[in-house]
Chains A and B, each alone.
Chain A
């Protein structure tokens, strides 16, 4: 026998093998929906990082404002001092 005859003989016998049945229709749709979730994931991360950075910035801004007092009053005092 040559190599092709070996392959063909094995293939002839293997063709009688019962292949395990597979049902994928529902899984295909689940898989097709997943890429959309993957696509939105970076946006979720951007939103999370933005939120995390925004919170301390807001706190810092409040602290600065509190330390500064009323910016309009401060400005008026400054102008008052400059003019007088």
Chain B
């Protein structure tokens, strides 16, 4: 199945590292920039390099290991793109299929996790674009938003908050939605957002500004008081 024979990495790069894959439900907060800062995303880098190389040499088990190692974070990420369990599983699967097909383009100069995050973002964005016609069926969740100012995040039910957030962002076109998710929901920098979307940093800033203005207008039109 895998026919690539390109040698990507030297043997010295392929040091062993521990494998901490967990199949238990994980929290979205494990997936943010903080995890990247503390090295959580790069802990498997040597294993990833070896498995990418072996996958390209036709070792199917190596790609299975890559999938098993990264599907937790991809699962978390794709949950932001849909809250339908069937679609969610399809999206996660699509990410790894696309990653496999693009594997020869992985240069190994950045962690595999970062590379697959870009693919996840692209797959999710395409999914939103494909389902854009469903957008008008959403409505501003006024009831859920009204009490927000006075309550602490810890006091909110996580699933309800995630549902409200999903519905609120679902009112916006995919480009606006994507930039708001990356910049303000995942709390990524302009540089990171540009890296994930393939946009320039200026484009990210402009798109974020426009998206914020659209969201603000939507909220105001629904009768919600929004500060400057």
| Residues of chain A at the chain B interface (Cβ within 8 Å) | 1-25, 27-29, 31-33
> Contact partner of A31 among B97, B145, B153, CB < 8 A?
B97
Among A15, A19, A21, A24, point to the contact of B93 (Cβ < 8 A). Answer: A24
Q: Can you list 22 residue pairs at the A/B interface with Cβ under 8 Å?
A: A1-B226, A2-B226, A3-B212, A3-B215, A4-B212, A5-B227, A6-B148, A8-B187, A11-B186, A12-B153, A13-B156, A13-B157, A14-B162, A14-B165, A18-B26, A20-B25, A21-B23, A22-B89, A23-B23, A24-B92, A24-B93, A25-B96
CB-CB < 8 A to B149: which residues of A? 1
Chain A residues whose C-beta falls within 8 Å of the C-beta of B26 in the assembled complex: 18-19
Q: Are B27 and A6 in contact (CB under 8 A)?
A: no
In the bound complex, CA of A29 to CA of B97 (Å): 8
Contact across chains for A7 and B180 when beta carbons are under 8 A apart = yes
For the complex, give the distance between the alpha carbons of A20 and B72 in Å: 10
Interface pair A20/B219, CB less than 8 Å apart: no
Q: Which residues of A contact B122 (CB under 8 A)?
A: none
Would A28 and B184 be within 8 Å (CB), given that A13-B153, A19-B26 are in contact? Answer: no
Contacts A3-B219, A9-B148, A32-B97 given; does A17 touch B159 at CB 8 Å: yes
Report B150 CB to chain A, min CB distance, Å.
10
B4 sits at the interface (CB 8 A): no
Contact B100 A2 (CB under 8 A): no
Which residues of B sit under 8 angstroms from A5, Cβ to Cβ?
Answer: 227
**Contact bitstring B1-38, A, C-beta under 8 A = 1, else 0:** 10000000000000000000001111111001000000
Evaluate contact between B184 and A19: CB separation under 8 angstroms.
Answer: no
Tell me the B residues contacting A by CB distance below 8 Å. 1, 23-29, 32, 60, 63-64, 67-68, 71-72, 75-76, 79, 85, 88-89, 92-93, 96-97, 100-101, 145, 148-149, 153-154, 156-159, 161-162, 164-165, 168-169, 180, 184-187, 212, 215-216, 219, 226-228
Q: Is there contact, CB below 8 Å, between A13 and B212?
A: no
Q: Interface of chain B, helix or strand or loop or mixed?
A: helix
A22, B212: Cβ atoms under 8 Å? Answer: no
On chain B, the residues within 8 Å of A14 by CB distance are 28, 158, 161-162, 165, 185
Smallest distance from the beta carbon of B61 to chain A beta carbons, Å? Answer: 10
A19 to B31, CA, bound (A): 12
Is the Cβ of A10 less than 8 Å from the Cβ of B79? no
Enumerate chain B residues within 8 angstroms of A8, measured Cβ to Cβ: 184-185, 187
* Contact between chains at A28 and B97 (CB < 8 Å): yes
Q: Which residues of A contact B64 (CB under 8 A)?
A: 25, 29
- Contact indicator B71/A22 (Cβ below 8 Å): yes
Contact of A17 among B1, B28, B63, B93 (CB under 8 A): B28
Closest A residue, CB atoms, query B77 = A19
| Contact A2:B27 (CB < 8 A) given known A7-B184, A10-B148, A13-B156 | no
